[in-house]
Amino acid sequence: MQPLSQLATGQQAVISAIEAEESLFHRLSALGFRVGKPLSIMRRASFNGPLQVRLGTTDVILRASEASHIKINPI
């Protein structure tokens, strides 16, 4: 188990836990971040910018600091 922020670009993974305070948790879950869901990182913006994450049919961008609340298992 590792934070999403450390996942390599292009590598597939499955969400194993979401450790965020309530409002962040709700927003993440509405955007499709739920335990057991597969995802991958499409690209990272330069200068340590946000990650583009693909979750099923949705693409989401989020900062590494937010991504570190999401724990994943690479597959």
In the region spanning residues 18 to 57, those forming contacts with other proteins, defined by CB under 8 A, are 22-24, 26-32, 34, 42-50, 52, 55-57
In whole angstroms, the minimum distance from the beta carbon of 2 to other proteins comes to 20
In whole angstroms, the minimum distance from the beta carbon of 6 to other proteins comes to 18
- Chain-centroid distance of CA 10 in Å reads 12
Among 48, 45, 50, 46, which Cα is nearest to 62's?
Answer: 50
Nearer to other proteins, 3 or 50 (CB): 50
- Chain-centroid distance of CA 73 in Å reads 11
Which residues make up the interface to other proteins (CB under 8 A)?
22-24, 26-32, 34, 42-50, 52, 55-63, 65-66
